[in-house]
Amino acid sequence: MKIALALREAHDAETELASELLAVGERHKAEHDVYHLSRTLHRWCDEHVRRLAEQGTRHGLDLDAEADGEPGRGLLARARERGSELVGRRPEPGVLLLRDLRDLHLVAARASLAWTVLGQGAQAVRDVELLEVVTACHPRTIRIVKWTVQKLKDAAPQVLAS
């Protein structure tokens, strides 16, 4: 059975999403909603990664149970946040925001697809426990996908018209 492949793919994708959420938040700290919400959503991904790691153990994988350290705790992260705060209060951070939200959307979409594949696999091999994890976690990843679209739609008009 190749279900472990799908598990690893979902774990990789959620780990990347967790890390990208933090990075985008740090780069746009002066966009206060992006900053705060990216950290909230990061905690969701962190939980997804942990639960995928638990499932991995059942399937003979040794997956990292933590997506990342505490958000924004590292020295480098703090320096980056401070820098973005200063940059962010000068004009024209908007174009960078649109680019980062687009990239974040693609990462989130990849994670969502990984959950879809994993869910199909879990049903095919009748792994009830794994399917429960997919059912609990995938909707949140979809909500992250929708948020990136919403934020892009909200931000684009002013960036492009001014």
Partner 1 sequence: MPDRIADPWGRRTPFGRGDSWPVRVDRYLQRGVAPADVDAWVPTASILHSNGDALDIAVKDGRMVGVRGRADSRVNHGRLGPKDLFGWQANHSPDRLTRPLVRSDGRLAETDWDTAMDAIVARSKALLDEQGPSAFGFYTSGQLFLEEYYTLAVIGKAGIGTAHMDGNTRLCTATAAEALKQTFASDGQPGSYSDVDHCDVLFLVGHNVAETQVTLWARMLDRLEGPDPPRLIVVDPRPTVPAQRADLHLAVRDGTNLPLLNAILHELIAGDRVDHAFLEAHTVGYDDLVAAVGACTPEWAAAICGVPADGIREAARILGAHDRILSTCLQGVYQSHQATAAAVQVNNVNLLRGALGRPGAGILQMNGQPTAQNTRECGADGDLPGFRNWANDAHVQELAELWNVEPSTIPHHGPPTHAMQIFRYAETGSIRLLWISATNPAVSLPELHRIRSILAREELFVVVQDLFLTETAALADVVLPAATWGEKEGTFTNADRTVHHSDKAVDPPGEARSDLDILLDYARRMDFRDRDGAPLIPWTDAESAFAAWQACSAGRPCDYTGLSYDKLRAGGETQWPCNERFPDGRERLYTDGDFYAEADYCQSYGRDLVTGAAADADEYRAQNPRGVAIIVPAEHVAPAEAPSGEFPLRLNTGRTVYHFHTRTKTGRAPQLVAAAPDVWVEVSPADADGHGLGEGDVVAVITPRGRIHGRARITGIRTGVVFVPFHYGYWDAGPERDGRDRAANELTITEWDAASKQPLFKSAACRLEKVRDAGGETAPAPTTTASRPLRPMPATAGGADADVDEDPGA
Q: Is 149 in the site for partner 1 (CB under 8 A)?
A: yes
Q: Tell me how far apart the alpha carbons of residues 111 and 109 are, in angstroms, rounded to a whole number.
A: 5
Q: Is 45 in the site for partner 1 (CB under 8 A)?
A: no
Work out whether the CA dihedral 126, 45, 153, 106 comes out positive or negative: negative
Q: Is 60 in the site for partner 1 (CB under 8 A)?
A: no
Nearer to partner 1, 27 or 56 (CB): 27
Q: Beta-carbon neighbour count of residue 126 at 10 Å?
A: 8
Q: Which of 1, 43, 78, 82 binds partner 1 (CB under 8 A)?
A: 43
Among the residue ranges 54-62, 76-84, 104-112, 139-147, the one whose residues contact partner 1 (CB under 8 A): 139-147
Q: Maximum distance among all alpha carbons in the chain?
A: 55
Q: Is 40 in the site for partner 1 (CB under 8 A)?
A: yes
What is the contact surface with partner 1 in residues (CB under 8 A)? 30-33, 36-37, 39-41, 43, 88-94, 143-144, 146-147, 149-150, 153-154, 157-159, 161-162
